[in-house]
A and B are shown apart, each in its own frame.
Chain A
């Protein structure tokens, strides 16, 4: 094993070691011990990733097996690493954001009794996510895929006493399992038709797959495979209609909302499709499917962000919408733009979430934006960094989000694949919507009238990030979170604000510095494939004259003015004339209620799927098992026998086992004796 290979192993194993130590020996090593070992583990992983990044930059990639998990049916199931430019970019994003979140957690969870458990979980998550991105085969991909789902489940339900949290985590796991169902079938098809689960070996046979029809259906095999795989991505990356778990996942503590449900885990689907570009490129049908799903998510989930009053939920819907943008990019073969947006989004969305968490700390765990306002005076660092994050999110020129989002929009514009027109409409309107809800949040939280500390909070929004020891208070009945009258919010401690600052830097700058190598340079060469029949980023590349020129050009294009329009409208509505939104809400009651109810997805799922499954189960059990099989067949024949037996009851002792035992012993004694005699 070379030094680099040791380093590859170290990247996932260091966080795993931290997780095991903090998880199993949390009591022994204490709170400080737990955060030290886990932070150390993630820091080691980050540093190692930086070294690997430089090594990959020097042209050294790796594709090899760590160990053979199993061999069966002629297929070798392995655990192994593929280290290339795409992997190492993901490794950097994951370990960096994870490190920030680990540090932030020291402040955020300082009073929580589950402190060690929390650190153990987030380190375990880091391990799982690294296994996912570093995999060179579908088995390990699936392992990481489900393992991040498990940790997400554990963390959404971290405060296991809260009914909403343990409902949300089960929902998240089950909805993800629906996606994984498709994913597993996709892997099954790949294994069946290529006899391998190794990426490189599968990609080498991509052309044969494209020329094959699926047995028994006559469908193009490659389309079936890609759509199955993409269904997995729809679950993990929360695309309509499997998006329903993500808003509810906000029940988890805010640090994990930033790490798992914004920056890393939910982008696993995007990463996976980009990784599978040699397959997806061969199926226009699958690409169109991806495109339409992504565009729908981008626009319609954005609308929902407008009506939320919970600060975390606004950010959650914006995440959904941004994931839609990434998916759109995949659909138009602009894989590198999708991954680029994935990266910039990881930074600015983690920043926005952690900023929201800082606000929540300052507000004493009140998450309702209607109780905030004017916080910029009290929380200056949180304010500035959140503003920077919001500008990045809406794609303001020169900010990182501008470069990634504009590239996506340009790629959609250039694309000729079916559905591109609809997608263009969605992503353009989405820019306006994003700007509107982002700055609605910004103005409501940091500007305007100070609405906190009032005796009566608006309380139809649900509770904030309560801490685990809250049940002690709940007995008092009227306990609620938030600031008491006269209390002022305060800036968070340095362990919270430092990550904000460190995340703000890449949120602003990283797009400017990386767009050229990532989108138009050699960085993803040989990793991401774009077929000759797809435009991808080729048109954009032709007109690209450096990031400064792109920003200047951006000022003259529709997305910029749509974003400005969104910001201006939110300023007018929420700063100037707060009566207008209320009036609109009254006037367009049905639309508002449609948005308020999230297009009734949850209600439908609850009634149709959850209720339907329970009713079906009850029906099968009562009618099938108890009625037909036991009632008629088993007990019926027993009664018949019983009736006959009554005739000869006198001869029976009633102890069945005596008969059986006697019978068997008797038979064999007799047989042995009688036969051997002869």
Chain B
């Protein structure tokens, strides 16, 4: 263990670095802004590496804890720490930030410093969400992280960006207001503590538990997003620039899912048990209903956005079947989805940068002009449909196994993703990549350049490494997941 405040560094290096990037000012200094942003992103990632190497996988206790009083009067603390549920997301987030900076390197020519700064600040804020152990601190990070993404969509987005940005903002803001009420209630009941860990131990009668659960459900369910509060996501993705989509899919969606694990399950376990059928039903609807909807999308980004919702359905399903395979599978699925959906959006971005269209119908025969790209895209499309040896398989496999253990028919419905996921991924791939060159625009396409090759190759490595050897990922989760499940099984009534 080290005394260096690693979590604070992971939060504040990107935020302060982002402000520095912002200070480079106008686009005359764009090259400087890019280099600086890249350096900050790399530095932000480097400080997260000791979080893994120094992580003690044998304990479920919080590690790398930092605790400073912030608002003594209300007992609000700057309280940070990670356990097996959160540590991987801090690292993933810092990692994805590097890719996002790379992805925006040439594409963004307008307001470069502001663009890069927005992503860096967002990255720091999201690290704050994953490591905050104080309710108010969590809420501040949770809300503040909305703003950079809102700006990214609203400024660098597509034609309909304002509608999408406002829809995104309102949806998520409304959800989190209910969460604030729940947090205040817990503060009262706990006799004046905002510590999430204290709340875990707080006995509560069933009625308030249910209400708190529902408040959290709205806040986190919108973020995940769960059916039926998911419709902001496809719009947000379609309008967002590539980097925005990558962060939104890879990290943004994980915030809500993480909230369930950190708040809903341990704070109100009885309500979670009672409402599990509801959660399972909503999750299965997400998997199946959204799978069908994804199938018929004409816009590639919408298709991948819907496929994200469907994959996140697996995550919430895994949480609420309350067995280790389910919860760990859900966590694995979250990490994998970070790689795979990020890669899918980057691939679509590569095409969009060249053709300025996301319509599947505008493509066809891309493999003829972009064979290297086609190979990468194939790998990621296969990972998206859960092919073994890719990361996409691991989580789905675990959740399906966990679900069958819980109830065969739930596993049955969930396993349909095997067919649906392959159908929408491969049908899109077929129409975009295979076939004869469809038009002169496709004929003029140039294959990926070195920078694009680099970020796709890095993600390809991650997808394969996690698919072939998930052991290091699941190893850090066991203690925390087992403790969580043990905790959830004990009634608070």
B55 interface residue (CB < 8 Å to A): no
Q: Contact mask A160-200 → B, CB, 8 Å, 1/0?
A: 11010011001001100110110011011101100000000
Q: How far is the CB of A441 from chain B (nearest CB, A)?
A: 31
Q: How far is the CB of A46 from chain B (nearest CB, A)?
A: 24
* Cβ contact within 8 Å between A163 and B435: yes
* Cβ contact within 8 Å between A177 and B407: no
Chain A residues proximal to chain B, CB less than 8 Å: 67-75, 142-143, 146-147, 150, 153-154, 157, 160-161, 163, 166-167, 170, 173-174, 177-178, 180-181, 184-185, 187-189, 191-192, 214-217, 224, 471, 613-614, 616-618, 620-621, 624-625, 629-630, 633-634, 638, 656-657, 660-661, 664, 668, 671-672, 675-676, 678
Q: Chain B residue with minimal CB distance to A625? A: B231
Q: Which residues of A contact B328 (CB under 8 A)?
A: 72-73
Given contacts A192-B405, A675-B71, contact A660 B419 (CB under 8 A): no
17 chain-A/chain-B pairs, Cβ below 8 angstroms: A68-B471, A150-B382, A150-B387, A184-B397, A184-B415, A188-B401, A188-B403, A189-B404, A215-B407, A224-B408, A613-B295, A614-B295, A617-B292, A617-B293, A624-B289, A656-B166, A671-B71
* Cβ contact within 8 Å between A629 and B367: no
Known: A143-B389, A146-B388, A657-B147. 9 other contacts (CB 8 A): A73-B324, A143-B388, A170-B427, A185-B411, A185-B415, A188-B401, A192-B401, A629-B231, A675-B73
* Cβ contact within 8 Å between B435 and A166: yes
Q: How far is the CB of B183 from chain A (nearest CB, A)?
A: 14
* Cβ contact within 8 Å between A161 and B296: no
Q: Contact mask B137-176 → A, CB, 8 Å, 1/0?
A: 0001001101100110010000000000011011101000
Q: How many angstroms from the CA of A656 to the CA of B161 in the assembled complex?
A: 14
B436 interface residue (CB < 8 Å to A): yes
Q: Which residues of B contact A215 (CB under 8 A)?
A: 407-408
Of the candidates A70, A154, A163, A216, which one forms a contact with B471 in the assembled complex, judged by CB atoms under 8 Å apart?
A70
Q: Chain A residue with minimal CB distance to B148? A: A657
Q: How far is the CB of B385 from chain A (nearest CB, A)?
A: 8
Q: Which residues of B contact A174 (CB under 8 A)?
A: 419, 422-423, 426
Tell which of B293, B294, B323 has the most Cβ of chain A within 10 Å: B293
Q: Chain B residue with minimal CB distance to A191? A: B401
Q: How many angstroms from the CA of A73 to the CA of B326 in the assembled complex?
A: 8
If over half of B's interface residues share one DSSP class (helix, strand or loop), that class is named, otherwise mixed; here it is: helix
* Cβ contact within 8 Å between A73 and B389: no
Given contacts A146-B388, A174-B422, A181-B418, contact A69 B471 (CB under 8 A): yes
B453 interface residue (CB < 8 Å to A): no
Q: Which residues of A contact B434 (CB under 8 A)?
A: 157, 160-161, 166
Q: Chain A residue with minimal CB distance to B386? A: A146
B72 interface residue (CB < 8 Å to A): yes
B359 interface residue (CB < 8 Å to A): no
* Cβ contact within 8 Å between A621 and B296: yes
* Cβ contact within 8 Å between B296 and A617: yes
B469 interface residue (CB < 8 Å to A): yes
9 nearest A-B pairs in the assembled complex, by CB-CB distance: A188-B404, A73-B325, A617-B296, A617-B292, A192-B405, A73-B324, A143-B388, A166-B434, A617-B295
Of the candidates A177, A624, A657, A664, which one forms a contact with B419 in the assembled complex, judged by CB atoms under 8 Å apart?
A177
Number of interface residues of B (CB under 8 A): 76
Tell which of B173, B418, B471 has the most Cβ of chain A within 10 Å: B418
Of the candidates B329, B423, B469, which one forms a contact with A72 in the assembled complex, judged by CB atoms under 8 Å apart?
B329
B398 interface residue (CB < 8 Å to A): yes
* Cβ contact within 8 Å between B228 and A629: yes
* Cβ contact within 8 Å between B436 and A471: yes
If over half of A's interface residues share one DSSP class (helix, strand or loop), that class is named, otherwise mixed; here it is: helix
Q: Which residues of B contact A147 (CB under 8 A)?
A: 387-389
Count of A-B residue pairs with CB < 8 Å = 176
Q: How far is the CB of A470 from chain B (nearest CB, A)?
A: 10
Q: Which residues of A contact B403 (CB under 8 A)?
A: 188
* Cβ contact within 8 Å between A660 and B173: yes
Q: How many angstroms from the CA of A173 to the CA of B427 in the assembled complex?
A: 11
Q: How many angstroms from the CA of A157 to the CA of B374 in the assembled complex?
A: 13
* Cβ contact within 8 Å between A660 and B147: yes
Of the candidates B151, B367, B368, B398, which one forms a contact with A657 in the assembled complex, judged by CB atoms under 8 Å apart?
B151
Q: Which residues of B contact A634 (CB under 8 A)?
A: 167, 171, 231-232
Q: Chain B residue with minimal CB distance to A635? A: B167
* Cβ contact within 8 Å between B412 and A185: yes
Q: How far is the CB of B372 from chain A (nearest CB, A)?
A: 11
Q: How many angstroms from the CA of A187 to the CA of B167 in the assembled complex?
A: 43
Q: How many angstroms from the CA of A289 to the CA of B329 in the assembled complex?
A: 33
* Cβ contact within 8 Å between A161 and B368: yes
Q: How many angstroms from the CA of A143 to the CA of B468 in the assembled complex?
A: 10
* Cβ contact within 8 Å between B422 and A657: no
Q: How far is the CB of A114 from chain B (nearest CB, A)?
A: 10
Q: How many angstroms from the CA of A348 to the CA of B400 in the assembled complex?
A: 40
* Cβ contact within 8 Å between B419 and A185: no
* Cβ contact within 8 Å between B140 and A177: no
B74 interface residue (CB < 8 Å to A): yes
Q: Contact mask B379-395 → A, CB, 8 Å, 1/0?
A: 00010000111000110
Given contacts A143-B389, A188-B401, contact A678 B73 (CB under 8 A): yes
Given contacts A72-B398, A676-B72, A678-B73, contact A216 B325 (CB under 8 A): no
Interface residues of B in 97-125 (CB under 8 A from A): none
* Cβ contact within 8 Å between A664 and B140: yes
B24 interface residue (CB < 8 Å to A): no
* Cβ contact within 8 Å between A181 and B415: yes
Q: How many angstroms from the CA of A593 to the CA of B197 in the assembled complex?
A: 72
Q: Contact mask B414-439 → A, CB, 8 Å, 1/0?
A: 01101100110011001001111000
Q: How many angstroms from the CA of A369 to the CA of B146 in the assembled complex?
A: 67
Of the candidates A167, A181, A188, A614, which one forms a contact with B296 in the assembled complex, judged by CB atoms under 8 Å apart?
A614
Q: Which residues of A contact B325 (CB under 8 A)?
A: 72-73, 75
Q: How many angstroms from the CA of A153 to the CA of B389 in the assembled complex?
A: 16
Of the candidates B231, B400, B408, B469, which one forms a contact with A214 in the assembled complex, judged by CB atoms under 8 Å apart?
B408
* Cβ contact within 8 Å between B401 and A187: yes
Q: How many angstroms from the CA of A625 to the CA of B297 in the assembled complex?
A: 12
* Cβ contact within 8 Å between B400 and A613: no
Q: Which residues of A contact B273 (CB under 8 A)?
A: none
Q: How many angstroms from the CA of A120 to the CA of B74 in the assembled complex?
A: 65
Q: How many angstroms from the CA of A630 to the CA of B470 in the assembled complex?
A: 39
Q: How far is the CB of B380 from chain A (nearest CB, A)?
A: 13
Q: How far is the CB of A390 from chain B (nearest CB, A)?
A: 36
Q: Which residues of A contact B368 (CB under 8 A)?
A: 161
Of the candidates A177, A216, A617, A629, which one forms a contact with B422 in the assembled complex, judged by CB atoms under 8 Å apart?
A177
